[in-house]
Chain A
Amino acid sequence: MKNKPRTSRRDPGRMLIGVVKLFYFSAFLLLWLKDFAWQGLLLAVAVPVMIHLGTAFLPRLFPADKLLLSLVNFLCALGVLVLYDTNPSYAYQQALYYGVGLVCMVVCIYLVRLIRTWSVPAALLIPVSLALLALPLLIGKETNGAKNWFYIGGLSVQPSEIVKLSLLIIISYYMSRRKFFIWLGFAGCCLLLLMLQKDLGTALLYYGVTLMLYYASSSNLLMTGIGLLGGAGAAMVGYKMFAHVKKRVAIWRNPWSDYDNSGYQIVQGLMAIASGGLVGVGLGLGSPRTIPVYHTDFIFAVICEQFGVIFGLFVLLMYVAIIWRGATIAMAARRSFHGLLAMGCTLMLGLQTFVIIGGVIKLIPLTGVTMPFVSYGGTSLVSSLCLAGLLQGVASLNEDDLDEDTRLATMDVPGEVEP
């Protein structure tokens, strides 16, 4: 024991990762005991192994942020766990997308680390993103009042989830280069296309992130205020124009007035949270499937029902930790593009979490966005992991810069006089 390096004992991530692995091993083992299905036992081994690979192996490739990796992996695995309990077929697909997402995350990290000049990629992404966003209008299928999906060979794709990444890259790049009209025009076109698709939740995300990123890049309170007023005006116009917006606001104000029809979903969600109580009804128990779209929008209600409100609060605190970490990474970035990109990813994850959890607990009107990392959905999970990858890429560059600073400060300068 005396020969053990001191640094290994002080690794703050070792215990955290260990606890995360223990959590999922015991949870999947419990679900396996329910019906003794071999898939449960397989997941009890596979998920901790994936977490170990994601948190212990990746940092060997580049200086990654292990805390961010641990929390992101915990949330992704939480989604797989809850889905396995409610609908195992969703869980297998989600586990598959989790693996794909991890690969995409590594690709994003390398992209941020390797690409030195983003002018060409940013310029190329503009037409590609707009074309992708326009596709559902041409070949899409309307679901829940919004036409934001299209299908390729049986695979459903939500392009607004992919364009989320390019939006951040484009506006971060052009904001850092002070090309006001380019990023504003692009963001405006995206919002217009989303409004045409009636995907108001995603439009709210795009608008909010763009506005907050503008304030972060310019500190211009006046223009930000004007943008905020413009958004409020657009919301009023949307409320007047779209019937389903009026309906959602009415449900939000009083879901019990039409509890067996339009307010059924939110009422069931609230009842699930209430029935879970402080410590939950227990994993594998309760009736989460009574909530409509329990696997996507209302997965937070399922978590609260099975694990309790206190655990739901812990999940919220994990998102807070991710946002805190993301903001720290953004503040430590040495280049304005990287800083804005990291801040954009953080804002996107934070705002999306707020919008969906606020909608589920009836804090704000419900909009159809997914809970990052947790909700079922391949595109959503992969794009969330890509956001985490971009954040990780900036974090690794920060580490490189800090190491370079240390190297420069400790190098021997000829003729330097020791103080």
Chain B
Amino acid sequence: MPDDLYEILALGMRYWFLLLGALIVWRSFRWLRKDRREKHRRLRQLPDAGMIGELVVLVGSDELPEGTAIPVPREGVLGFLRTCDVVVPVPGVAGHHLDFTFQDGKGLLITPWRGQSCQVDADELTHRSKAAHYPMHHGSRLFVGDAVLRLRLFAGLETSAHPAFAPDAPETEQTPVTAWQDTPYIYHQHPAAWVDTGRMTPLDGQQPPYAPMEQPPCQPPYPQAYQTPYDPQAGQLPYQTPYDPQAGQLPYQAPYDPQAGQLPYQTPYAPRQDWLDSGYPQGGQRPVTYLPPAGDGLADAPEEEAHAPADSAEDFGQPRPRVRHSLLGRRNRHEE
């Protein structure tokens, strides 16, 4: 093409390129703004997005009253500073006290910062502790400073069997199960059958009159009933109810002795009648498979003695389903 003609063409095309450049920038920022609005809308619909559960305050402070539910992200830092992911303004809690991370199939792993310590249920943790050995599960309690927090996982998260129940089983045989999927396994038999019959021997030398568990009971949930309030200051062992055959308790309940390798929370459980009437733990549906065997003494056991008092107003019977509002069948932006 002749140079002068090309020059005229190129000079004219300048405005065309400018127009296209402006269009590209305009569309890009419009897209960004639209995605921002979309993100806010989705967050309104799914306020629990990115969270794995809540830490419910059992013992707090004036700034953090009991019953407060603190959302827990998948990973983060717990401390009293505002910059922490989980802020616990309670005496004894350091600015950055501990790291936590949720691992699918394991639970919430806790690693205190250097110089800090905390306690998960009965296990004292320091920054040298192997976090993977002391995972928090649904219903686990975290003692940090003067605060006592209890973990409530959201429904559907993968958790594994509590390690105390299957210490000898190869890890590969443990199939991660969701918290709520475990519920029928737990409640379709008498809770007293939760002991590992391979490791625990009934006092009278007889096997319990229940069918052995098909699968080790997994947490969560642990009904509040069989959790004796734990007081670390009193040197009390967790969930340990002394055996008293006169009180109508179950026969194969050995006192907890950690040195002997026994299991920690094998306290007999008697379901409260009002829970059964209200359909606990299925939330309105009576568990049809729950059939307490006759002659186990539970029927005669006084209600006050058959269960430990609830230590929290919160119901930890089953994981809380995530909050969601109307999704209206929206799809993500890449499918649009």
Chain A interface (Cβ < 8 Å from any Cβ of B): 7-8, 10-13, 15-16, 19-20, 22-23, 26-27, 30, 33-36, 59, 63-64, 66-67, 70-71, 74, 178, 219, 279-280, 282-285, 307-308, 310-311, 314-315, 317-318, 321, 324-325, 328, 332, 334-336, 399, 401-403, 405-406, 408-411, 413-417
Contact = CB atoms under 8 A, between A and B. Distances in A.
Given A409-B323, A409-B324, 17 more contacts: A15-B27, A30-B13, A66-B334, A285-B10, A285-B11, A308-B18, A310-B18, A318-B24, A321-B28, A321-B32, A328-B39, A334-B74, A406-B332, A408-B322, A409-B48, A409-B49, A417-B283
26 contacts: A12-B27, A12-B34, A19-B27, A67-B31, A219-B83, A282-B7, A282-B14, A283-B17, A307-B21, A308-B18, A310-B18, A311-B18, A321-B28, A325-B32, A328-B39, A334-B50, A334-B74, A336-B76, A399-B334, A402-B332, A405-B50, A413-B156, A413-B180, A414-B285, A415-B283, A417-B284
Contacts of B327: 406, 409-410
Nearest to A283: B10
Interface of B: 1, 6-7, 9-11, 13-18, 20-25, 27-32, 34-36, 39, 42, 46, 48-50, 73-76, 83, 99, 154-157, 180, 183-184, 279, 281-285, 318, 321-324, 327, 331-336
Contacts of B13: 26, 30, 282-283
B28 A318 contact: yes
Contacts of A27: 17
Judged by DSSP, the binding face of A is helix
Contact of B31 (A7, A13, A308, A311): A13
Given A7-B336, A399-B334, A405-B322, A279 B25 contact: no
B329 to A, nearest CB: 10
A27 B154 CA distance: 55
A329 to B, nearest CB: 11
Given A406-B327, A414-B282, A280 B156 contact: no
* Pairs A-B, 10 closest by C-beta atoms: A282-B10, A415-B283, A415-B282, A409-B324, A314-B21, A408-B156, A16-B27, A409-B322, A405-B49, A413-B321
A311 B21 contact: yes
Given A33-B1, A324-B32, A7 B17 contact: no
Contacts of B14: 279-280, 282-283, 307-308
A151 to B, nearest CB: 38
A284 B1 CA distance: 13
Nearest to B13: A30
A30 to B, nearest CB: 6
A321 B29 CA distance: 7
